[in-house]
């Protein structure tokens, strides 16, 4: 079955720690995206990558970092510089114009 | 500034009571408009892509339509399992970034 997987489903972080969220796809899509979802707000773009070894900042990239070393993988690191990281994080990949989303990771800062 | 607005924020329907959700957009150079369904704690599920005014897409009890200023998601004879948040997003010419609305929370009562 082709699809997008995100792990873990739930993640708890202490203040001052960096954490990495995993996103893997086997859809053979070139482009991948990371979004953050907060209650009452639309999805906000963190980073996106159109091709391996290339990525661009989205609207809210401060405090986050990414890498794209393989077509299948686009991990997101939430650094200690991110002031309010508690949120639901969504990864997506794109085929032509349409994005397809993973199941999400809920990050909570303790 | 490019913007997507969804209305109403929340909608309660009786089972079988048809209605429409609205997605209005102000963007320069619409390339595509997308509808997603999102269940609580899960990633958005792709429903439809619309490209040009006058276009319509149907899937089971859902029909999406597009004009030059807005899109409607018509729900015919809804069932309780149609309860979810419905998200609208657009992308514009020259970019593969997406702008999301804040969604409409639909509750269908048995």
How confident is the model over B24-78, as pLDDT tens digits?
A: 999 988 999 999 999 999 999 999 999 999 999 999 999 999 999 999 999 999 9
Closest CA to A82 of A57, A64, A67, A59: A64
Cα(A83)–Cα(A63) distance, integer angstroms: 8
Q: What is the pLDDT of residue B1?
A: 83
pLDDT in tens, A28-67: 999 999 999 998 888 999 999 999 999 999 999 999 999 9
Cβ <8 Å between A50 and B96: yes
Structure tokens at A11: 């993640």
B36 touching chain A per CB within 8 A:
yes
- Rounded Cα gap, residues A99 and A96, in angstroms: 8
Q: What percent of chain A has pLDDT over 70?
A: 98
Sequence-ordered strand ranges (E) for B1-110: 3-7, 10-14, 19-26, 30-38, 45-50, 56-59, 62-66, 70-75, 84-92, 98-100, 104-109
pLDDT bin (cut points 50, 70, 90) of residue A1 is low
Nearest-Cα distance to chain B for A15, in Å, is 24
Give the gap in angstroms from C-alpha A104 to the nearest C-alpha of chain B.
Answer: 6
> Which pLDDT score, from 0 to 100, does residue B73 have?
98
**Confidence (pLDDT) at A65:** 97
In this prediction, residues A86-95 reach a mean pLDDT of 96
Residue B45: list chain A partners with CB under 8 A. 101
B42 touches chain A (CB under 8 A): yes
Mean pLDDT, rounded, for A16-27: 95
Residue numbers of B between 59 and 88 with CB closer than 8 Å to A: 87
So what's the pLDDT on residue B95?
Answer: 87
B50: closest CA of chain A, how far (Å): 10
Nearest to A102 among B43, B99, B100 (CB): B43
């Amino acid at each position: 079955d082709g699809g997008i997987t995100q792990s873990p489903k739930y993640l708890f972080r202490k203040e001052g720690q960096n954490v990495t969220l995993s996103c893997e796809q086997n859809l053979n899509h070139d482009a991948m995206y990371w979004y953050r979802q907060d209650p009452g707000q639309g999805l906000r773009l963190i980073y996106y990558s159109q091709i391996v070894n290339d990525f661009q900042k989205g609207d809210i990239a401060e405090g986050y970092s990414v890498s794209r070393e393989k077509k299948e993988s686009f991990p997101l690191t939430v650094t200690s510089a991110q002031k309010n990281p508690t949120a639901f994080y969504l990864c997506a990949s794109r085929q032509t114009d349409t994005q397809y989303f993973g199941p999400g990771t809920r990050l909570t800062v303790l | 500034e490019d913007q997507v607005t969804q209305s109403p924020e929340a909608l309660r329907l009786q089972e079988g009571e048809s209605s429409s959700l609205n997605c209005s957009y102000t963007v320069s150079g619409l390339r595509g408009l997308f509808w997603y369904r999102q269940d609580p704690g899960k990633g958005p599920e792709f429903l439809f892509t619309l490209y040009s005014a006058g276009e319509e897409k149907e899937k089971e009890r859902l029909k999406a339509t597009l004009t030059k200023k807005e899109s409607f998601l018509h729900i015919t004879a809804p069932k309780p399992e149609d309860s979810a948040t419905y998200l609208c997003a657009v992308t514009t010419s020259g970019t593969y970034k997406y702008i999301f609305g804040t969604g409409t929370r639909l509750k269908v009562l048995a």
